[in-house]
A and B are shown apart, each in its own frame.
Chain A
Amino acid sequence: MSGLLVAEDLHKSFGPTAALDGASMSVAAGEIVAIMGPSGSGKSTMLHCLAGIIRPDAGKVSYRDQELSAMSDSRRSALRRGEFGFVFQFGQLVPELTCLENVALPLRLDGVRRKDAVRRAAEWLDRLEIDDVAGKRPGEVSGGQGQRVAVARALVTGARVVFADEPTGALDSLNGERVMRLFTAAARESGAAVVLVTHEPRVAAYSDREIVVRDGKALDLERAR
């Protein structure tokens, strides 16, 4: 299997429950892949393994042909900070910082000078059509605006893969659509791949391809035909 990010024969159990039982999938550079499946099917576990957040019991995950589990912790953290971005359902922004500071944060952690970090963060807020919330704290903005701040923060470092776990799960249809439209457009523009976990078909429809996780396996129904 080839690709930017490749998972091969992953196994992962939580106690007696096997979340993944021989699951394989790959993501090409710039590709938007939706991972779907019934609740408890292991789709979030798949995402966490792909992102190197959890280590599978067996099988391997490779990013640019480098196996994640073979990397040192510091190398893996650097990868997660520099090449990977994350968008979760909610609660991922630092409440004490303004939205602009939240977006600038990963750059600052990477040693980018404050002035440059703020400028680049402002550009991303503008791209996601939320330049008006720059000075507000996360608690003062709407759910949809908060998610767009999270998307900006995930992409600001020039991440090559953005992992998104139910990014619209807490939003109404209209705001969910808006987040997905801006998110996928921004990812395509910057050439980032997206791994999107969702249970909503309308959200998955923004992807290029769908993987269904079922009985611990990852199925590509469209290629299988």
Chain B
Amino acid sequence: MSIGQAFLGLLEARPRHGYDLKRAYDERFGADRPLAYGQVYATLSRLLKHGFVSVDNEESAEGPDRKRYAITDAGVADVERWLNQPEKPEPYLQSTLYMKVVLALSTGRPATDVLDTQRAEHLRMMRELTRRKGAGDLSDQLICDHALFHLEADLRWLELTAARLDELAGLVRS
């Protein structure tokens, strides 16, 4: 995850204290994994070092949370650059599942069981996300849908592979 750029994006709207920034991040992008404070302040000090943020007021009270951070022009340019740069598509070429199927076949174990076990697990997760989506707002729906489409792609692969096990068995055992 690009925590640094996310912080910059949040700061572009308005300056924030570290705690406020963490809360905004967790709410919007954190899903089930809130940021650790250590991570928040390490990220902020890196952004400070690169000149992407500045401290726009420092109150007399002690503690890192008294600092309010604001984005700099260089920071805005960095967000701009990041937004316009495509993410590298994940090619998924190294699949543990594929490895399991091949090894099950080559050792004479029932590969169908490997696929079925995974199928049940995937569908369980999809059900949970579907429930969460139903109870959530548009952000929850979009985040859950992203995960659901990926899980569905896996399931389709499981189905396709199940249909081609005999063919694969011949190849693996030869």
Contact = CB atoms under 8 A, between A and B. Distances in A.
Interface of A: 38, 181, 185, 200-202, 204-208, 210, 212, 219, 221-222, 224-225
B35 interface: no
Contacts, number: 45
Nearest to B134: A181
Given A181-B134, A221-B116, A225-B117, A202 B152 contact: yes
A207 B156 contact: no
B120 A222 contact: yes
Given A38-B163, A206-B130, A207-B127, A201 B120 contact: no
B126 interface: yes
Nearest to B141: A177
A202 to B, nearest CB: 5
Central interface residue in A201, A208, A221, A225, by most chain B CB within 10 Å: A201
Interface in B140-174: 148-149, 151-152, 155-156, 159, 163
Nearest to A221: B120
A204 B123 contact: yes
A166 B126 CA distance: 18
Q: Which 10 A-B pairs have the closest CB atoms?
A: A205-B126, A205-B130, A221-B120, A201-B155, A222-B120, A201-B152, A221-B116, A205-B127, A202-B152, A210-B123
Contacts of B149: 202
A222 B117 CA distance: 8
Describe B's contact surface by its main secondary structure: helix
A221 B162 CA distance: 14
Interface string B83-116: 0000000000000000000000000000000001
Describe A's contact surface by its main secondary structure: mixed
B117 A205 contact: no
A224 B116 contact: yes
B10 interface: no
B77 to A, nearest CB: 36
A64 to B, nearest CB: 27
Contact of B126 (A38, A185, A202, A208): A202
7 contacts: A181-B134, A204-B126, A205-B130, A205-B148, A207-B127, A212-B116, A224-B116
Contacts of A212: 116, 119
Contacts of B152: 200-202
Given A38-B159, A181-B134, A205 B123 contact: yes
B46 interface: no
Contact of B124 (A181, A206, A219, A222): A222
A202 B126 CA distance: 7
Nearest to B154: A201
Contact of A205 (B119, B129, B156): B129
